[in-house]
Amino acid sequence: LKANNARSLWHPMTAPSDSLKNPPAIITGASGVKIRDIDGHEVVDAVGGLWNVNLGYSCQPVKDAIAAQLDALPYYSIFRGTSNDKVIELAEELRDFFAPDGLTRAFYTSGGSDSVETALRLSRQYHKIKGEPGRIKYLSLKRGYHGTHFGGASVNGNANFRTAYEPLLPGCHHIPAPFPYRNPFNEADPAKLAQLCLQALEDEIAFQGAGTIAAFIMEPILGAGGVIPPHESFMPGVEKICRKNGILLIADEVITAFGRTGAWTGSRLWGVKPDFTCTAKAITNAYFPFGAVMISEAVAEVFEKDETGKAAIGHGYTYSGHPVGAAAALATLAETKRLKVNENAAARGAQLFDGLKALKDKYSVIGDVRGGHGLMLAIEMVGDRATKSAPDKAVPGKVQKVAYEAGAMVRVSGPNIILSPPLVITDADAAVILAALDKGFAAV
């Protein structure tokens, strides 16, 4: 195990130059907000699993709920005529949680990619029921990430996640993201840039023909694409354009839901009411693979009032509504609200953002730091600040490795270091992350 010369395991999402991972750190234990490797080295997990361990690794109420549910009902399907008590209870809780976003119904899935697939499919079906079968295309943002299924991959905005798998779904078009540091308009002012991107969206809709488009999908804050918060005018602008053109709005909140941004949902951060909100990841604090697509009452009614038979849902997963996942989600949601983790996310996020800005002043290899909305932060490294050239290939991995040795696991994604720690970190944990990064940058 230590030598990791086993050829039996294929790791997902590798890059040709993967760093810390060669050999990979073999994680064998975790507690609180820390993870421990096979050599007994313990560090603060500034990745938070994979944006999903919001409550840390020692969440007793979730463990208890899972154990109790395994005894009561470990599984039964909710296909075609059966249900279970836990999924109904959870749907009621989720309805209350998402009510301010205008979302009242839950469709269960097994994870983020499934949630995206569900929203993409149901949005096409919605238009078919309404007599607009020509609405089959999807629009999304460049740099957006929407998972690994063919539908999600087709709307992914990063070509690296698409090209190896083409041909993908036809009719998917990607709009420039409002990213002040890098954009095709050379516009650094966030408000002006938001307007330019909204205009690009209008232009694309006009070019494609509004009546051909089923839905627009976006993350309220781009996550895997490098943590890029849009200007506050952007998502409300998208919502308005969608409404005007009869296009459904899908919020992909697989990362942003449940407090990570400081608000309870990313859509609420921007005051937007989507038609679908995709969730997964932190919904069970990562203790069980599970997801839910939240659906607006208006969309649900179109399905329910259809008498032509078109509304039958030929879509669902074996583990849609898994009772153990639902029990885990119920306990997670209760703890999430009880601890008001969104408030701590906002406070610790501000502390980390200030710390990252100070690191930027200190190290010229840092071209941009991004944050300001809870515990989603990124550092973008460059070779040269003036030209924003790519950093030396070895740099991100070296920073990560030294930071790991100094007490914090951070994530490398291209030229970015991404931070998404548990929402329950203390100010001392945040200080450890910053000190570890300081050492990492000092080493390069």
For residues 426 and 219, what is the distance between their CA atoms, to the nearest angstrom? 27
- Minimal distance, residue 154 CB to ligand PMP, in Å: 13
Using CB under 6 A, which of 111, 157, 229, 230 touches ligand PMP?
111
- Minimal distance, residue 73 CB to ligand PMP, in Å: 24
Distances (CA, A) of 420 to 110, 349, 364: 22, 9, 23
Name the helix (H) or strand (E) containing 430. Answer: helix 427-442
The residue (of 223 and 374) whose beta carbon lies closer to ligand PMP is 223
Interface residues for ligand PMP in 269-328 (CB under 6 A)?
Answer: 280
Is 153 one of the binding residues for ligand PMP (CB under 6 A)? no
Is 421 one of the binding residues for ligand PMP (CB under 6 A)? no
- Which stretch, 145-153, 183-191, 363-371, 425-433, contacts ligand PMP (CB under 6 A)? 145-153
> What tokens were used for 320?
């849609």
Report how far Cα 202 is from the mean position of its chain's Cα atoms.
25
End-to-end CA distance of the chain: 30
Interface residues for ligand PMP in 339-358 (CB under 6 A)?
Answer: none
- Minimal distance, residue 374 CB to ligand PMP, in Å: 15
- Minimal distance, residue 320 CB to ligand PMP, in Å: 14
The residue (of 51 and 57) whose beta carbon lies closer to ligand PMP is 51
> What tokens were used for 2?
């230590």
Are 382 and 391 in contact by the 8 Å Cβ rule? The answer is yes
Is 180 one of the binding residues for ligand PMP (CB under 6 A)? no
Written as one string, the DSSP assignment of 160-227 is GGTGGG-S--TTEEEEPP--TTS-TT----HHHHHHHHHHHHHHHHHHH-GGGEEEEEE-SSB-TTT-
The dihedral formed by the CA atoms of 280, 290, 424 and 56, expressed in degrees to the nearest 10: -140
3-state secondary structure of 359: helix
- Minimal distance, residue 253 CB to ligand PMP, in Å: 8
Is 255 one of the binding residues for ligand PMP (CB under 6 A)? yes
Are 65 and 329 in contact by the 8 Å Cβ rule? The answer is no
Q: What 8-state DSSP symbol labels residue 100?
A: G
Is 145 one of the binding residues for ligand PMP (CB under 6 A)? yes
Using CB under 6 A, which of 113, 195, 277, 342 touches ligand PMP?
113
The residue (of 111 and 415) whose beta carbon lies closer to ligand PMP is 111
Using CB under 6 A, which of 45, 101, 219, 368 touches ligand PMP?
219
Using CB under 6 A, which of 45, 117, 252, 429 touches ligand PMP?
252
* Count of CA atoms in the C-beta half-sphere (13 A) of 28: 8
Distances (CA, A) of 422 to 44, 101, 261, 267: 10, 24, 12, 21
- Which stretch, 111-119, 188-196, 200-208, 302-310, contacts ligand PMP (CB under 6 A)? 111-119
The residue (of 45 and 252) whose beta carbon lies closer to ligand PMP is 252
The residue (of 55 and 224) whose beta carbon lies closer to ligand PMP is 224
Is 116 one of the binding residues for ligand PMP (CB under 6 A)? yes
Q: Residues interacting with ligand PMP, by CB under 6 A?
A: 111-113, 116, 145-147, 219, 223-224, 252, 254-255, 280
